[in-house]
Each structure stands twice: as C-alpha cells, then as structure tokens.
Structure 1
Amino acid sequence: MSAQFPVARPRRLRRTPALRRLVAETRLAPADLILPLFVKEGLAEPQPVASMPGVHQHTLDSLRKTAHEAVEAGVGGLILFGVPAVKDAVGSAGDDPDGIVQRALRELTAELGDSTVIMTDLCLDEFTDHGHCGIVTADGEIDNDATLERYASLAVAQAEAGTHVVAPSGMMDGQVAAIRAALDGAGFTDLPILAYSAKYASAYYGPFRDAAECAPTFGDRATHQQDPANADESLREVLADLDEGADMVMVKPAGAYLDIVRRVRDAVDVPVAAYQVSGEYAMIEAAAEKGWIDRERTIDESLVAIRRAGANLILTYWATEVARRLSSR
C-alpha cells in the first residue's frame, strides 16, 4: 500500500445510517426518559406556560390525559409538581391530604397502577407564599432543621397518596436522612428516594419558576443550592445523600454540568439521573422557532450528550415526543 494513503479509515463505519446505528456507543431509549408535569389547583382548562412552548399547567383531567400519552409512548416515568390555590409561610398545602399533589397522585396511581413510575418532587417552594425551599426565619434566613420537619411530613403525605418515588430537591443538609426516617417510621420502608444531590444555584431555572409559580419574593437560593464554580462539592453531597439512604441521585441542570454527571457516574454504583431543565428547553425551542437550528436534531443531540456523560435517567420536557420518535425508528 502506498504510504500516502491512510491505513486506518474510521470513516468506513460512518458510511450509512444503518452502520452508524450498529456501532453507536451510546443508546437512548424511551424508558430512560422521565416527563415533568405541572398540575394547578382551580384551573378550568390547561394553561400554556408562556416561557416554555408546548408545556402546560394541567387540570386533573388534562394531567391524566397527558400521563396516559406518555405511558403509551413508553416513557419510563413521570415526576409531579403541584401549584396550590393558597400558599402560606410553611407550605401547608404540601402535606394536606386534599392538596393538589395528593389528589393528583391518587388519580394517577388509580388509573396507571404500576404501568409507569410516578415520582413526586418534594420541596416547599411550590407551596410557600415567599417562594423559598424552606422555613424562613424573622431575619430572612432559611432554617435548615425546621425545614427538615416539614420535608418529613410532605414525604409521608406523598407516600400515603401513592407516590412510587419521592424526590427531595430542596438541598437542605440532612434532608435524605430525615425523609428516610419519616418514611420508615410510617411503614414505607420500601419507598425509594431519588435525591436531587447535586443541584446548582443556576440561572437556567427561570421558565420553571413561571410554570410552578415559585419565584422567590426576596433574595435567592444560593445559600443552599450549589455554587456553579464548584465540582468537588458535588461528590461530597452525593456521597452524603447515599450514606443517609438515597437510592438514586440526580444532577441538575444537565447540559451545562455534563462534567458533574460524569464524575458522579464514575463515583457511584446507583442510578444517576440528570434534569434537562426549563432554561435548556426554552433556549432550544426559541432558537428553533427562529429557524436558527434544526429542532429535532438538536433535541436528540442534547439528550444523547446527557446519556453519553453517564446519566441512566433523563428528566426532560420532551420525553413523550422523543419516546415516540425513538419507537418509530
């Protein structure tokens, strides 16, 4: 062979779509995807979220319909966020047996049974009138330990309403231990915890706060969510949550933190989730609407990148759409 020609020709395995599929190192499946859903008390019809095209605040009826569509598409799970009609300083609606999340849980579990995994976000920001993730003291600080008591109560309320997994997202110190103890004490020893272990104080959450109506009325959440500048801290948080009884761990956001996803994946032997958050969703939708990017290719590439970084599970607002597309290939 002439020395002027290459011996190795990696392009041979890229020649056709069938070859590329055959040798793909990373595979995305519908069951890898989890669909976030918002249910709002008092709605007569579903309300579009202006900053998240295609996403709605649901009524109980439209929530059931959307959940059925996700299950039929093969989506692996759902995660539920609630918007109550009345909020107060301690988030009383969060553990009210007749609160919107508990009502939605009872309806979804009755209809769907074990055909999917129904998860519940466990935090106070959706239920408090100040929009913070915990109990606020007179001087405006978040009282970590008083907040743990509320989280424990929310966990039991969600368990009694039928959730399959609780997902604490408040980033309070000791939250997993407090929730595990409360669940075990109430007889829910088999209920798993998906801990938002590496959750950053990110600018990518803006549209979510529109959807969940939980923007803080003062200050921010930098005292409990992680500093975007830090990476080693994530592993300390993850390992602490596992020591306290977490069964799965999550990195949030996903796209700007793929290095954290990989570090966590390499460090632990439990399922790792990553949340493709509202800002990531909104940016792609906005750019696609302008015609600046190919929408479907960009969505698929963003999800494959998260999977390639090591996430077993991906929370994404495109879960149903992408699951249908994957199933048709």
Structure 2
Amino acid sequence: MTFSTTDMINNITGSRRLRRNRMTPWARAMVRENTVTPDDLILPLFIIDGKSEEEAIEAMPGVSRRSVDKAVELTRHAASLGIPAVAPFPNVDLAKRDQAGSAILDPDNLICRYVKAVKDAGIDIGIITDSALDPFTDHGHDGVLRDGVIVNDESVEQIVKASILQAQAGADIIAPSDMMDGRIGAIRQALDAEGFSDTAIMSYTAKYASGFYGPYREAIGTDQTLKGDKATYYIDPANSEDAMREAEMDIAEGADSLMVKPGMPYLDIIWRMKSTFGMPVFAYQVSGEYSMIEAAAANGWLDGERAMMESIVAFKRAGADGILSYFAIRVAEKLHSS
C-alpha cells in the first residue's frame, strides 16, 4: 500500500493541524493569549532644570531630557494615550551633588517640582517616584558612601526622608530602587506615621547588577561620576533564589507591588515571582534594552517596530502586570492607530 505525505502526517498527528489557528489575522487574534494595551505601560522620563529645554540623549535615540514645563507637556500626551502612570528621573546639577545625596531632601528639587507641576496641571495620571540617592550623589551610588562602603542604615534614613518629601509633593507611588535592606518597612512605617497610608510602595525588588544600565546613567549624568560598581547591593545576575528572598522580605515589610529590573534578560524571574507570590509584578525594560533595539533598527539589522512590540508582549507573557518602557509613547500611539 502506498501512503501519500498527507496520509503519513495525518497518521502521526491524528489529523491535528495547529496551523489552522494561524492561517489568517482574524484567527490569530481570536486565539491570542496575551494582548498589550496602553494600560500596561508606564513611561519613564528625564527632568532637567530650565525653561522650555529639551536635550537629546545620545545613547538613547528618540529620548530626551526635558525641563519641568516640557515634561508636563509629555505627561499630558501620555495621559491622552491612556498610559496610566509616569516615572520621573532627574539629571541634577553636579554642583548640587554630594556624598550623602543631600539635595534629594530639598522640597524644590527636580522630582518634587515636576510632581507638583503635574498635579497643579490637573493631569489624570499616576506618578511613581524613585527615592534612591544616585541622581543626587557625587559618586553615583544609590546610598550614602562612607570609607568606600555604601552604608545601609544611614542610606535608609535618607531614603525614608526623601520618600516622605515626595509623598508631600503629591507622588502616588514611592518606588525605591536602591536595594538597601529594610527600606520598604521603614518607608511604610514613615508614610503611615505622616498620614500617607494611601501612598503605595512599588519595590524595585529584584534589581540586578546588570550591564544594561549604561544609557540611563548617561541620561541622569552618573556615567562619569560613578565610582566602582553596585554589586555589593544589587543582585548577582546568576541568582534566582536571591530574588525570591528579596520578594519575601519586601512583601512582609509592606510592598504593594514588585519590580524586576532589567526586563528581558530576567523574564524567568518575572514569571517565577508572579507565579510564586501572586502580587502585582512590574518589569522595567531598561535603557540598554531600548538602545539595543534602536541601534539594530538604525543599522537595518532588524525591524525596529516589530521588535519593539514583540519585546513588550514578552513581558506580558512572562506574567508582568505592567512595563516601564522608553517605548511607551510609541507603543501606545501604535495601539491607537491599529
């Protein structure tokens, strides 16, 4: 008896053809497991002093530092696209930086000015502020430097004070990225004591000692000031259990949501954290991830828009509830136009 190729395939697969659900755009849409919407996006942006100022960031094509007024304009646009939240990061004048990051406690610093300006403008969008010290220190580290060591408890004291100041300015979520031990519990206790019990905490729970932060450091001006590396307080890229222990501690101390940073190299951590704890988990698609896609696209090595969308949906597939991404505006605009 002679069998055709079709007969042989049917004999193997039992007439099951998985391709039937992939044959047309409508069929693919009907069975799609994960869908990205503007609600999934958080826009990080960079703030500088001045008026009507906008500075291109060389290492991040398409991303700029903006003075507060210009940043408010961008924030209004983000809100109009349905992006639910923004995360501002300052580039502080070098003359205002010191060993303890003291300028973070100035009520008129760039973060506080931006938060107040957005609130005064009546823009309906959440503001997520970082109370880590690195944009304000003259050594580029996330905490206070003493005798070559980032001292944990003194750093936490400074970070707690900064968190209160940001909440007073109107921040909706405090997101400390410093990775100091005990800072989530200390911030929660202080917020509650100061009457900010409704102010949430998004912990940078699993922030890895990564090589993907370079363009961000250029954006906030710590690329030339950073002394040494951050491996003594960020997580080793080889470790997974360490991230789980950090998550357990942060949840016990009162974190409302967790973050994994960077994003794509740590999709397994996002998946494991979400499935283990059932907490809201966010991914930060960091500057290096953004710049790699942009550089490859500029050289014609890949389809930049397609890679952008594929990377965002990968975070959703891994279990992320939301994604901080420098692509946020472009992704939201694409979603609205499709």
Q: TM-score, normalised by structure 2?
A: 0.94
CA distance in 2, matches of 1:196, 1:43: 31
Corresponding residue for residue 11 of structure 1? 19
Q: 1:181: Cα distance to partner? A: 1.2
Structure with the greater alpha carbon radius of gyration? 2
Q: What amino acid is the match of 2:329?
A: T
Partner of 1:195: 203
Q: Which residue of 2 aligns with 1:98?
A: 108
Distance, in Å, in 2 between the alignment partners of 1:84 and 1:218 is: 17
Instruction: Tell me how far apart the structure 2 counterparts of residues 8 and 173 of structure 1 sit (CA, whole Å).
Output: 53
- The answer to which of 104-113 and 230-239 deviates more is 104-113
Counterparts of residues 65-214 of structure 1 (less than 5 Å): 65-85=73-93, 86-113=96-123, 115-137=124-146, 139-214=147-222
Q: Deviation at 1:328? A: 2.2
What is residue 236 of structure 1 aligned with on the other side?
245
Q: CA contact under 8 A between 1:135 and 1:147: conserved in structure 2? A: yes
Name the SS of the counterpart of 1:303 in structure 2.
helix
Alignment deviations for residues 21-64 of structure 1 (CA, whole Å, 9 cap, x no partner): 11101111111000001101246511010000011111112101
Residues 169 and 196, structure 1, Cα contact 8 Å, conserved in 2: yes
Opposite residue 164 of structure 2, the aligned amino acid is V
- Mapped partners of 1:124, 1:150: distance in 2: 8
Shift of 1:322: 0.3
**Structure 2 counterpart SS, 1:315:** strand
8 Å Cα contact 2:52/2:70 also seen in 1: no
Give the paired residue count.
Answer: 327
| Cα offset, 1:110, TM superposition | 1.7
Alignment of 1:15-94 (within 5 A): 15-42=23-50, 45-85=53-93, 86-94=96-104
Q: State the distance in 2 between where 1:45 and 1:265 align.
A: 40
Read off the aligned partner of 1:45 and give its amino acid letter: E
SS of residue matched to 1:283: helix
Which moved further from structure 2: 71-80 or 46-55? 71-80
What CA distance in whole angstroms lies between the structure 2 residues aligned with 1:207 and 1:253? 13
**Retained in 2: the 8 A contact 1:134–1:144?**
yes
- Pick the aligned partner of 2:291 from 266, 282, 290: 282
Residue 269 of structure 1: aligned partner? 278
Q: Deviations 1:215-248 (Å, cap 9, x if unpaired)?
A: 3531110000000010011000011001000000
Runs of 4+ in 1 over 4 A off after TM superposition: none
Shift of 1:4: 2.2
CA RMSD of aligned residues (A): 1.3
* One-letter amino acid of the counterpart of residue 202, structure 1: S
After superposition, residues 311-322 of structure 1 pair within 5 angstroms as 311-322=320-331
Over residues 144-192 of structure 1, what are the superposed CA-to-partner deviations in whole Å (9 max), with x where a residue is unaligned?
A: 0000100110000000000010100000000101111111111101100
TM-score, reference length from structure 1: 0.97
> SS at 1:70's partner residue?
helix
Partner residue of 1:226? 235
Contact kept in structure 2, 1:31 and 1:76, CA below 8 Å: yes
Q: Which amino acid aligns with 1:67?
A: T
Preserved CA contact (<8 Å) 2:21 2:27: yes
Q: Distance in 2 between matches of 1:110 and 1:121?
A: 20
**Tell me, what secondary structure is at the counterpart of 1:204?**
coil
More deviation, 115-124/288-297: 115-124
What residue ranges of structure 2 are gaps of 5+ in the alignment? Answer: none
Do the aligned partners of 1:109 and 1:163 also contact (CA within 8 Å) in 2? no
